[in-house]
Structure 1
């Protein structure tokens, strides 16, 4: 059975179980769910705006696919110490299908004592501050996490296990997590990336209105079934440019991702910020520094907010000394294009309205400036590089 078929089957079972499970408070099975219904559009048809793991996006014609999703989660309690959790998710994904189903989580949890627990199975990777709820729009003030940071690592879950620790020291709660697993990711483009292994550590400290987070991820990965990249490396070697070829290797690449985050909810003032650095041993996956900061003010059921995010490339953006004329000029241009990412910054303003229990209406406008490339837009037409685009979105988030 294929992964999407398995996910659809799991979703069907969870939905079938939802009504009787929730009707009995003492049921060993609990069902919860979440979703977003959204319309998104831009003011340009020269490129498509998307979330980082989507093959296609949106232009001037409003579409639902970019920001809409639906998820359902079931937890079955076997005993006081053992439970099983599965989460199915439907959203627009990295293929050309409008929507695809996936099995996001499927793990067994062993509670060792009041402080420690172990989980085994398919588990979300703690890469970002809101990794566990990145698809749960209702849990966030913003309509979507900013691509400037959340496009840096495309791994959402691993097959493996983790150890969880949580303890309160007076008014301070400390949560720590150590995770080890493998993952295969299929980004848009008909190729895949194997991560073996991914080792993640995550530390969260909560005190009063503040939450602080420190995360570290290290991995070894390889890029497979990518004809363009494979041909580039082969051509560089055949041309005698072996030193350049060694810097764009496709396998046995070591990489790290370090991030800091903070949230604040003090009286009516809210804030959230993250800062991250990505480093790898291949120029094909560029070193980057990214960040964003969001501030808002809650007035009764309304929360207006503003966010700004940016990303820059830390690794070189061209190979010095490559020939720019003669028979190798085209190969040099290809190598330089391959190691350069399009940069961008986003300033967004929005409003959240909690108009009903477990329902929130959001509107958000993003002003995105690309520079030296097309940023994180896809299907860009010639001449789009360096453009400025406005993105408009409205959404209703819900949980149950």
Structure 2
């Protein structure tokens, strides 16, 4: 399974031919061969280090990492170790179990089950799965945690951080069919999921996703849509909204506006598109995403990225650009008659803050070096620049403190720019 995922992602993994067994081991060969037909074990991991350059804003590779870099080297962002066990890998009925150990704000590095499903390859082009499955939202959904399969160090945060749900407990089906010079595949999943955060839990009561992919020669195109019914179990966040609705800032309509715009029962839709083109030693790829919901707790946003790379023997330099833009409409908070200017300014600030106007653009450049079999060393430089707000505070992959009236920070202001240097060693076995 893992080797198939790497191949689909364009990874350059070459395994050496096995050495001939000594004569003393010939008698044990049939038993070992029979075991290999029933059990397959794969592993992958990353040893990573990264450092941001700003004294006010911090950065973490994943919004669910426990800690962030604030002008210091950290080793807990991308670092991970994972294993995948497949029972009956060559048969029509197989069991797949993938365990992931990666830094998480709740579990830290404790191993957790990422996938656990029973798959059935029918005699038709249809395959069925039941259990814990990858959610097929993005092009890299199935290889999101296999950094070796990526040219750069990690999936683009401009897009991938907008959907923290990576897996579902439910049912899935994949249909493949050859049409003329290419192949069409459909990947459908229905299930539920939950994501634990320091502020509470996001519980998806129902998720339905469908992705279509066309492969032809050296290019592929992917389109997808996923729908979510979410319970936002965020006690601290909801309590803050209740304080605002109480009129504590002299707001005349906050209660009615928040009742309509901030329900905890959220319906959201994500539309995605992606492409990959290989022309000789060159590879061009990109993705686009559109997220819409009926609650400011999941703010409306658009995002995209594009990456160009070129293979030169064991080296692959790459360049990339990405952007996130939040498009949540203004809430229209109105201050009560006679409210002082400070109250009016506070209501305007809270209105903008609740639009999650933390859009940014990123530029990336780096070099991948496949210096040995199944080993890749990557040097990655990223420049991040907020393109919407830089004064209201933010918590996530990029975080900076909020000054009054949103927060209490009174230190140096952030200029909206952040630079990050990463050095990762990726491996598979």
Indicate the TM-score class for this superposition, using the shorter chain for normalisation. 0.7 to 0.9
Counterpart residue number, 1:269: 282
Quote how far apart the aligned CAs of 1:315 are: 1.6
> Partners of 1:310 and 1:168 in 2: how far apart?
35
Residue 385 and residue 233 in structure 1: after superposition, are their counterparts in 2 closer, same or farther (change >3 A)? farther
> Partners of 2:44 and 2:280 in 1: how far apart?
27
Does the alignment pair 1:206 with 2:215?
yes
Counterpart residue number, 1:218: 227
Does the alignment pair 1:279 with 2:295?
no
Shifted more, 338-347 versus 176-185: the winner is 338-347
Quote how far apart the aligned CAs of 1:250 are: 3.4
> Partners of 2:126 and 2:285 in 1: how far apart?
28
Shifted more, 110-119 versus 34-43: the winner is 110-119
Counterpart residue number, 2:314: 301
Quote how far apart the aligned CAs of 1:52 are: 2.4
Counterpart residue number, 1:52: 63
> Partners of 1:36 and 1:175 in 2: how far apart?
30
Quote how far apart the aligned CAs of 1:334 are: 3.6
Contact 2:56 2:414 in 1 (8 A): no
Q: Which residue of the other structure, out of 348, 363, 366, is the alignment partner of 1:347?
A: 363
TM-score between the two structures when normalised by the length of structure 1: 0.88
> Partners of 2:298 and 2:234 in 1: how far apart?
16
TM-score between the two structures when normalised by the length of structure 2: 0.82
Contact 1:116 1:166 in 2 (8 A): yes
> Partners of 2:100 and 2:413 in 1: how far apart?
33
Does the alignment pair 1:106 with 2:127?
no
Please list the CA deviations of residues 168-206 of structure 1 after superposition, one character each: whole Å capped at 9, or x if unmatched: 23431221111100111113x331111121000011111
Counterpart residue number, 2:19: none
Residue 23 and residue 378 in structure 1: after superposition, are their counterparts in 2 closer, same or farther (change >3 A)? farther
Task: Describe the SS at the equivalent of 1:256.
Answer: strand
Please list the CA deviations of residues 265-307 of structure 1 after superposition, one character each: whole Å capped at 9, or x if unmatched: 2210011100110000012221101000000111111111100
Does the alignment pair 1:69 with 2:80?
yes
Q: Which residue of the other structure, out of 401, 404, 422, is the alignment partner of 1:393?
A: 422
Contact 2:333 2:347 in 1 (8 A): no
Structure 1 residues without counterparts, runs of 5 or longer: 1-19
Q: CA RMSD in A?
A: 2.4
Does the alignment pair 1:368 with 2:412?
no
Contact 1:224 1:250 in 2 (8 A): no
Residue 139 and residue 377 in structure 1: after superposition, are their counterparts in 2 closer, same or farther (change >3 A)? closer
Contact 2:40 2:89 in 1 (8 A): no
Alignment of 1:1-400 (within 5 A): 24=33, 26-50=36-60, 51-77=62-88, 80-95=91-106, 98-187=108-197, 189-233=198-242, 235-236=244-245, 241-317=254-330, 319=332, 321-322=334-335, 325-326=339-340, 329=344, 330=346, 333-371=349-387, 372-373=389-390, 376-381=396-401, 382=409, 383-400=412-429
Counterpart residue number, 1:11: none
Structure 2 residues without counterparts, runs of 5 or longer: 1-28, 402-408
Shifted more, 228-237 versus 300-309: the winner is 228-237
Shifted more, 24-33 versus 307-316: the winner is 24-33
Please list the CA deviations of residues 200-219 of structure 1 after superposition, one character each: whole Å capped at 9, or x if unmatched: 00111111111111010011
Task: Describe the SS at the equivalent of 1:260.
Answer: strand
Between Structure 1 and Structure 2, how many residues are aligned?
Answer: 378
> Partners of 2:419 and 2:398 in 1: how far apart?
15
Quote how far apart the aligned CAs of 1:370 are: 1.7
Residue 98 and residue 122 in structure 1: after superposition, are their counterparts in 2 closer, same or farther (change >3 A)? closer
Shifted more, 318-327 versus 361-370: the winner is 318-327
Please list the CA deviations of residues 233-272 of structure 1 after superposition, one character each: whole Å capped at 9, or x if unmatched: 4641676534312233333211100010001122100111
Quote how far apart the aligned CAs of 1:228 are: 2.9
Shifted more, 367-376 versus 230-239: the winner is 230-239
> Partners of 1:311 and 1:367 in 2: how far apart?
14
Contact 2:383 2:417 in 1 (8 A): yes
Task: Describe the SS at the equivalent of 2:136.
Answer: coil
Contact 2:253 2:334 in 1 (8 A): no
Task: Describe the SS at the equivalent of 1:143.
Answer: coil
Task: Describe the SS at the equivalent of 1:186.
Answer: strand
Task: Describe the SS at the equivalent of 1:192.
Answer: strand
> Partners of 2:56 and 2:77 in 1: how far apart?
17
> Partners of 2:414 and 2:354 in 1: how far apart?
15
Task: Describe the SS at the equivalent of 2:164.
Answer: coil
